[in-house]
Chains A and B, each alone.
Chain A
Amino acid sequence: MTTSAKSQQPKEKEDISIKERLNRIRSSEFIYNYKRNIPAIIGSIIIALALFVAIFGPLFAPQNPYDLTEIDLADAYKPPFWQEEGDSRFILGTDDQGRDILSGIIYGSRVSLFIGLTVMLMSCLIGTSLGLLSGYYGGKIDSLIMRIADIQLSFPSMLIALFIMSAFGRGVDKLLIALTLVGWVIFARTVRGETLSLKKKEFIEATKVIGLPNYKIIFKHVLPNVFTSVIVISTIKVGDFILTEATLSFLGVGVPITEPSLGLLVKNGFDVLFSGLWWVSVFPGLYIMMLVFGINLLGDFLRDELNPKLK
């Protein structure tokens, strides 16, 4: 029944539809504030660039670091091109096996971003559903879910992830599971809190009074109203997940060496960091920093803008 309502709207709105909507969005307060918030614009540019590089990177990367035919051991530890022994083929230098650092970063950012975004989606899905259930139904379900969350919050999330990864071994799939297991809690807790306060609102009570079934109240009336918070947490959390993944990989319990993420690249150069071969670690490290910085800039803007309590 819900779908029929949605499908009929475009038909009726045809004359005003897309243009009108775009105009409405363009003239909204949100866009007005966005245009005046320089950090948010910088953040979005960084994110857009990073996404572009991650998606289309292989098309213009100087080298495919996984393709053994393109790698020559003789090129090992070449410094960045502006240094004396630099090679113009390797702008940011090479690592111990003669792999181009820039290409490594391009390929590594694909893995890092993939993990960050996937874990965000999975945590968001699981956390939001559990939070809705917990807040809406209350009682035993609520106690059960929230106690699990409490237990998890009483350990540092890094410790839990480390434990899971050491128990199951390296692998992108295992990393996704481990990070989701520590990531859902914040979604669940926030959504539960919002649901609890929404439940007391009269328009939610009114939907009960007209005899709407619970699942419809949850999905049609509660969920859309908690969505702004979910968007804010999701954005900020992507940065968090990328960092956690990088840390785990740096510690050697993250991604396998066949699929190096940015964290693993930093680790690869760490051994030689103090023997003058600084570029192997520093450039991937800088890239992680820039990426997370961009995500946080946008996340902070969204948090201030979408949270009515801060206005």
Chain B
Amino acid sequence: MGNKLLEVKELRTYFHTFKGVVKAVDGISFSLEEGEILGIVGESGSGKSVTSFSILKLIEEPGVVEAEEILFKGEDLFRKSEKDMMKVRGREISMIFQDPMTSLNPLYTIQQQIEEMLKLHGNFNEGQRKERCIELLRLVGIPNPEDRLKSYPHQFSGGMRQRVIIAIALAANPKLIIADEPTTALDVTIQAQILKLMKELVYNEGASLILITHDLAVVSQMADRIAVMYCGKIVEEGSTDDIIKNTAHPYTKGLLNSIPRLNKNLNRLEQIPGMVPNMFDLPRGCKFAPRCKYSKEKCLVEEPKNIIVGRGHRTACHFPLKEGYILD
């Protein structure tokens, strides 16, 4: 513990389109320690998924990724060639996608799909590969893995497919797994199972996890630290406890208030008024100011700087809900 696995500094991903430049990710910095689970939370279009693809340098035209550096195990991914990145993808960093129904190729058996990863990243012979496939399927809790190897994706339910996808992601023993809304498409009952499984596996395999979701309730159960994104920027980052109990940014507060609670007798769920601004026409000052009930004149003209509000807890807000100081 304590070793930095991933350090992203000033990552910017801009899409240069006909209608103008979309700053999908606009100068975000965060880091991840070995064995840590980082949750990235935000609404749709806040740049969560683009962040993960940017780290793997899989942004396609017209997107452009820029970063001061993206340090992974001390190596700068941003300056790596495409050929070197091929070796990082899958082997060092793997991804789990949102929709298990479309993440597996319908034409191949799951054994073929797990083996594809093993063939790319590892020296196994046929027998070893098969054993590893069985081992992986058992690890993710698929009953009778020997019999299921020859099954096709359509023979699995959504939850089971997501388990297979997790097995593929784990196949090459990656150091970092990025899970992009891994449970959004699943039943609530299955969600809990999959999350528990992922947490266990990450812990047992000594990997780190970036969990991307729009569901603050999901990350709060899982993550060690949480980064809240809004309009391509990280508005608050801190330990899970701090984010939930010592919330500093009004947006985070809004997200927390909009989680339904059974123990409180509320007639109406609180909501954040307004909508996510148009990405072509972002507000000049704080991006959240137009929707913020605490906003003052300063918020509308000046972009807020990062303010340290606690140990390892920072927020980008002129008037944080918690006392803090500006770091120069």
A residues lining the B interface (CB < 8 Å) = 1, 4-5, 8, 13, 138-139, 201-203, 205-213, 220-221, 224-225
A206 vs B95: C-alpha distance in the bound complex, in angstroms? Answer: 8
A205 vs B112: C-alpha distance in the bound complex, in angstroms? Answer: 17
B188 sits at the interface (CB 8 A): no
B residues lining the A interface (CB < 8 Å) = 56, 58, 61, 85-91, 94-95, 97-99, 102-107, 112, 115-117, 119-121, 126, 150, 165, 168, 172
Asked whether A209 lies within 8 Å of B56 as measured between CB atoms, the reply is: yes
Asked whether A208 lies within 8 Å of B58 as measured between CB atoms, the reply is: yes
A210 vs B87: C-alpha distance in the bound complex, in angstroms? Answer: 9
In the A-B complex, the 4 residue pairs with the smallest Cβ-Cβ separation, listed nearest first, are A210-B90, A211-B89, A211-B90, A211-B86
Q: A1-B119, A202-B97, A202-B99 are in contact. Are A209 and B105 (CB under 8 A)?
A: no
**Other-chain residue from A139, A202, A213 in contact with B86 (beta carbon distance below 8 A):** A213
Q: A202-B99, A203-B102, A225-B105 are in contact. Are A210 and B89 (CB under 8 A)?
A: yes
Asked whether A5 lies within 8 Å of B91 as measured between CB atoms, the reply is: no
**Other-chain residue from A4, A5, A202, A224 in contact with B102 (beta carbon distance below 8 A):** A202
**Residues of the A chain whose Cβ atoms lie less than 8 Å from the Cβ of B165:** 206
Nearest B residue to A205 by beta-carbon distance? B97
**Residues of the B chain whose Cβ atoms lie less than 8 Å from the Cβ of A202:** 97-99, 102-103
**Other-chain residue from A1, A139, A203, A211 in contact with B103 (beta carbon distance below 8 A):** A203
Asked whether B168 lies within 8 Å of A210 as measured between CB atoms, the reply is: yes
**Residues of the B chain whose Cβ atoms lie less than 8 Å from the Cβ of A13:** 150
Return B48 CB to nearest CB of chain A, in Å. 15
A176 vs B121: C-alpha distance in the bound complex, in angstroms? Answer: 45
**Other-chain residue from A5, A139, A203, A208 in contact with B89 (beta carbon distance below 8 A):** A208
A208 vs B57: C-alpha distance in the bound complex, in angstroms? Answer: 10
Return B216 CB to nearest CB of chain A, in Å. 24
Asked whether A210 lies within 8 Å of B102 as measured between CB atoms, the reply is: no
Asked whether B126 lies within 8 Å of A4 as measured between CB atoms, the reply is: yes
**Residues of the A chain whose Cβ atoms lie less than 8 Å from the Cβ of B117:** 210
Asked whether A212 lies within 8 Å of B120 as measured between CB atoms, the reply is: yes
**Residues of the A chain whose Cβ atoms lie less than 8 Å from the Cβ of B97:** 202, 205-206
The 23 sampled A-B contact pairs (Cβ below 8 Å) are A5-B112, A13-B150, A138-B61, A139-B61, A201-B102, A202-B98, A202-B103, A203-B102, A203-B104, A203-B105, A203-B106, A206-B104, A206-B165, A209-B58, A209-B95, A210-B94, A211-B85, A211-B87, A211-B88, A211-B89, A213-B86, A221-B105, A225-B107
Return B155 CB to nearest CB of chain A, in Å. 13
A213 vs B95: C-alpha distance in the bound complex, in angstroms? Answer: 17
Instruction: Supply 4 further A-B pairs (C-beta < 8 A) apart from A210-B168, A220-B116.
Output: A203-B105, A209-B90, A211-B89, A211-B90
**Other-chain residue from A139, A211, A220 in contact with B91 (beta carbon distance below 8 A):** A211
**Residues of the A chain whose Cβ atoms lie less than 8 Å from the Cβ of B98:** 202
Return A230 CB to nearest CB of chain B, in Å. 14
Nearest B residue to A211 by beta-carbon distance? B89
A224 vs B152: C-alpha distance in the bound complex, in angstroms? Answer: 15
**Residues of the A chain whose Cβ atoms lie less than 8 Å from the Cβ of B103:** 202-203, 206
A211 vs B57: C-alpha distance in the bound complex, in angstroms? Answer: 11
Nearest A residue to B52 by beta-carbon distance? A209
Nearest B residue to A224 by beta-carbon distance? B107
